[in-house]
Amino acid sequence: MAEENVTNLTADVDVKGTIKFGKVMKIEGKFEGELESNEGELIIGKAGAIKANVKVKNAAIEGRVDGNIFASERVVLKQKAQLIGDLQAKTLVIEEGVVFVGQCNVNPNGMKPEKQTFGEVKKEEKKNIISR
């Protein structure tokens, strides 16, 4: 990864708002809001802590995320990462030592965020299995 293609939020940075990025975003500081990139990769470093909903192609988490992650491809939760929120991805890698509290939907066949909603329960017809 070429250094000029990486947007860095260093440990001394505290940002609130919405960030849309194209290539690679690395966060070592604090962020609160929304993060979005159709083709980009999000890296949350060991010192990084975000309160955000995330929509990216790929994500690698070493720090803390409070919020939901939607990745159209891959999410890697590295050792000592903390994710408090729901996750959707084609591929998920979880290393030993990760804290993950939330729902997980991993589907190698892919998914679209507008068709997948956390907390949505499909209603099924109830059938009378036992008749008396």
Per-residue pLDDT of 31-88, as tens digits, reads 999 999 999 999 999 999 999 999 999 999 999 999 999 999 999 999 999 999 999 9
Residue 110 · residue 128 · CB < 8 Å: no
Record the pTM. 0.79
Per-residue CA distances from 68 to 5, 11, 52, 105, 126 (Å): 25, 22, 7, 11, 32
What average pLDDT score do residues 7-29 get? Answer: 94
Classify burial at 47, counting beta carbons within 10 Å of its beta carbon; exposed 0-12, middle 13-18, buried 19 or more: middle
17 in helix, strand or coil?
Answer: strand
114 φ/ψ angles, rounded to the nearest 5 degrees: -75, -15
Asked if residue 27 has pLDDT above 60, the reply is yes
> How far apart are the C-alpha atoms of 31 and 116, rounded to whole Å?
25
- Determine the pLDDT at residue 111: 62
Q: If you search the block for the tokens 């995330």, which residue do you land on? A: 54
Query: pLDDT per residue over 86-115, tens digit each?
Result: 999 999 999 999 999 999 999 988 766 555
> How far apart are the C-alpha atoms of 115 and 73, rounded to whole Å?
16
